[in-house]
Structure 1
Amino acid sequence: MPSSTPAPAAPGRVLGRLLPGLAAAAAVVAAAFGLHALLPGAPALSLCVLLGALASNLPWGPAAARGRTGAAGGKARVSPGMAWAARHLMRAGIVLLGLQLVLADVAALGVGGVAAIAVAVAVAFGGTWLAAKLFRLPGDQPVLLAAGFSICGASAIGAMAQARGSQRDAPVPVALVTLCGTLAIAALPAANAALGLGAVDFGRWVGASVHDVGQVVATAQTAGAAALAAAVVVKLVRVLALAPVTLLGALAARRAPGGGAARAGAPLVPLFVAGFAAMVALRSTGLLPDAVLDAAAVAQHLLLAGALVGLGFAIDVRALFRTAWRATAAALTAWLVVAAAGLGAVAAMAA
């Protein structure tokens, strides 16, 4: 009896389906970095999300996105490649993110410092989840938003979404975490004018409360080299929480009603999370030359940029506006919780 299993598509056909979307994503990434060069205050990764959403939702967007059959036909033509970028480029970027972490830097903070940051991450995760639930964000958005705000922004959202099988819920949390992280670049230095934190304490606050690594750098460097160094170390300790928190998120999803059957074939620890941990271990050996690390950092930035374009492309602006006030209120409430948790961590480390 002949098998009813469909034959796998030929590699050429798969590439043909993906190529228009991948080319469009590359064009949007180039445009985002070009705008960033003209407007250095606008983070390139934030622009990737924004321009990806514009390309998807504006009928008068680029001709390459519309194609011959109009906006709807053009969107259908580029959607497979954009979805592939959001999923697979994100995974590759998260793996390379591990090369930014050196365990010796974590150890230098001491047990008390690491414990303070871990508590801040837990408070930020729980507070963000509660805020999202309070404002009735749908589906898996509360968990994804909590991961993004507490750990490392869009990278954590992507990791958690793929570990839990909830990629469809990722675009709105990505938009919210990008918005709040971008606002932090101006808001935290302004707040510190009233708080009067020293350079090191301000850097630690930025590292403990700003979401994306690039946004941390942009915010902390306003207070000088000492603040930047302190911010990066604290931030990378938060990034280290990506693997265990993602694992816990996957376990919780499996134990939810219907979750076990839906994820029966999926590994408990996604391969890209294992790859992230392996890269942390490799970087910590000190064997990799600086040239390799520099190239990996550029590649990680570009991969994440392409993934964020794909996630931005998945944002339905009309649906977002229908719940805009609830989503924005949840994000701003979570932002305050994370900032307060960060200040608590700074106080604990200074004690």
Structure 2
Amino acid sequence: MIGDLSTRPRGLAPGVAVALAGMAVAIWTSRLVPALNPMLVAIVLGAVLGNSIRLPPGVGAGLAFSARTLLRVGIALLGLQLLFGDIAALGWQVIALVVVIVGLGIAGTVILGGALGLGWTQRLLIACGFSICGAAAVAAVDSVTEADEEEVLTAVTLVVIFGTAMILAVPLLSSALHLSDTAAGMWAGGSIHEVAQVVAAGGAIGGTALGVATVVKLARVLLLAPVVTAISIHRRRLAGAGGHATRPPMVPAFVVAFIACVCVRSSGILPEGILDAASLAQTVLLTCAMFALGVGVRVATMRRVGARPVVLAAASTVWVAGIALAGVLLIGPVPAG
């Protein structure tokens, strides 16, 4: 056992090095083309690499480490982007709308997935990814559900495809519906899957929309903690009832770290230099993780899983976007913040 532990870092090094190289290319690409977010670029680069060449078996452990451990650390650091005060400033109506979007988004997607004959974990991964915060939510839920790798990669791939489509659709539809920048920003933040995709869509609409969209989206991200905790508690009860020896933690460590980071950021004790460094670290870690997840995406896998997950993803996108739009129209004008 001691020997295994001492050699483990060496065994992880090749795969982590590949993930770091993919991260570097993704960040460099995003700086050349600022409209491209490095995390989205990383997923695409990873998918292209994974489907183009056969990677050496020695990189598998490091890529798996990047896709799970580095991603969890990155999610925890994401909490340093959140201020309780910013979310409270949205007002109770917008906060209530965010809760409704996430709650009904997950429930409706899970129910429809059941009607389509998909398994519980596949439905839950797609539901949380599309209702909360994309690939990060998929990975977070995977950590407490023990989903199959194929199910995780399918959900991540669908997040990329449909979330990217929403970057184009929301600004165009907002213009067609004559929404104000503030309303359009609320809709973007309430409906689009990834934080990076929300930033891209909000920027396309305008500066006011970008600010509102980002805060609304981060309010959705904040709900990742209670949702994952609730799923973990449910899984523990099932495991206990079934007599299984292994049960997920009641509250995963990275969720505790995420909430701790939100509290620390909201306290105002961290200087800007530390926050800037943490933001860079979060981008590096999540981009490495997204690249590693992308490497696992296989065209053959998507063919094998068939059309049902794609149908569920399309329906979930429309469902979540519809709830968000209805809420925005019902609330009416809100302060731009």
Q: Which residue of 2 aligns with 1:87?
A: 68
Match of 2:38 in 1: 44
Report the equivalent of 2:131.
Answer: 150
Residue 207 of structure 1 deviates from its aligned partner by 0.6
Q: Which residue of 2 aligns with 1:171?
A: 153
1:38 Cα offset (Å): 4.2
Change beyond 3 A, Cα 1:329–1:197: same
Q: Deviations over 1:21-48 (max 9, x none)?
A: 0111111122223333444444321221
1:125 pairs with one of 95, 100, 106 = 106
Which deviates the most, 15-24 or 308-317?
308-317
Residue 33 of structure 1 aligns with which residue?
A: 27
RMSD of aligned C-alpha atoms?
A: 2.0
* Kept in 2: contact 1:46–1:179 (CA 8 A): no
Q: Which runs of 5+ in 2 are unaligned?
A: none
Match of 1:226 in 2: 208
Which aligned pairs between 1:253-268 and structure 2 lie closer than 5 A?
253-256=235-238, 261-262=243-244, 264=246, 266-268=248-250
Tell me: CA distance 1:261–1:180, structure 2 relative to 1, closer, same or farther (3 Å): farther
C-alpha offsets along residues 246-291 of structure 1, whole Å, 9 cap, x if unaligned?
Answer: 0111122233468865573542101000000111111111111112
CA–CA separation in structure 2 for the residues paired with 1:138 and 1:26: 34
Distance (Å, rounded) in 1 between the aligned partners of 2:255 and 2:245: 16
Task: Summarize deviations over 1:197-225 as a string: whole Å, max 9, x none.
Answer: 00100000001001111111110112222
Pair 1:90–1:48, CA change in 2 (3 A): same
Alpha-carbon shift at residue 93 of structure 1 (Å): 0.6
**1:204 corresponds to 2:198:** no
Letter in 2 for 1:44: P
Given that residues 182 and 215 in structure 1 are in contact (C-alpha distance below 8 angstroms), is that contact kept between their aligned partners in structure 2?
yes
Q: 1:75 to 1:338 in 2, by over 3 A?
A: farther
Report the alpha carbon displacement of residue 91 of structure 1 after superposing the two structures with TM: 0.7
Match of 1:18 in 2: 12
Structure 2: distance between partners of 1:45 and 1:263 = 37
Amino acid paired to 2:205: A
User: How far 1:10 sits from its partner (Å)?
Assistant: 4.5
Count of residue pairs brought into register by the alignment? 332
Task: Tell me if structure 2 keeps the 8 A contact 1:151–1:211.
Answer: yes
Amino acid aligned to 1:56 = G
The equivalent residue for 2:302 is: 320
User: Quick check: 1:132–1:331 contact (8 Å CA) kept in 2?
Assistant: no
Q: Distance in 1 between matches of 2:173 and 2:247?
A: 48
Residue 11 of structure 1 and its aligned partner are, at CA, apart by 4.5
Which whole-Å CA distance do the structure 1 matches of 2:3 and 2:172 have between them? Answer: 55
Aligned residue identity for 1:202: A
Q: Which amino acid aligns with 2:193?
A: H
The one-letter amino acid paired with 2:67 is A
How many Å separate the matches in 1 of 2:83 and 2:24? 31
Describe how 1:296-335 pairs up with structure 2 within 5 A: 296-335=278-317
Identity across the alignment (%):
37
Superposition deviation, residue 349 in structure 1: 2.9
Contact 2:126 2:155 in 1 (8 A): yes
Partner residue in 1 for 2:85: 104
Question: What residue number does 1:66 align with?
Answer: none
Distance 1:8 1:317, change over 3 A: farther
Is the CA contact (8 Å cut-off) linking 2:129 and 2:193 kept in structure 1?
yes
Residue 49 (structure 2) aligns with:
55
User: Following TM superposition, by how much is the alpha carbon of 1:182 offset from its aligned partner in structure 2, in angstroms?
Assistant: 1.2
Rate the CA distance shift 1:196–1:261 in 2: closer, same or farther, 3 A. Answer: farther
Q: Using a 3 Å threshold, how does the CA distance of structure 1 residues 11 and 256 change in structure 2: closer, same or farther? A: closer
**How does the TM-score come out when normalised to structure 1?**
0.88
The answer to whether the aligner puts 1:342 opposite 2:302 as a matched pair is no
Measured after TM superposition, the shift of residue 87 of structure 1 is 0.8
After superposition, the C-alpha distances for 1:137-184 in whole angstroms (9 at most, x for unaligned) are: 345111011111111111111111112232623111111112111111
Structure 1 residues 117 and 11: alpha-carbon distance in aligned structure 2, compared to 1, 3 A threshold: same
| Structure 2 counterpart SS, 1:136 | coil
Query: How far does residue 96 in structure 1 lie from its aligned partner after superposition?
Result: 0.3
Q: Which has the greater radius of gyration?
A: 1
Q: TM-score, normalised by structure 2?
A: 0.92
Q: Is contact 1:99–1:282 with CA below 8 Å preserved after alignment?
A: yes
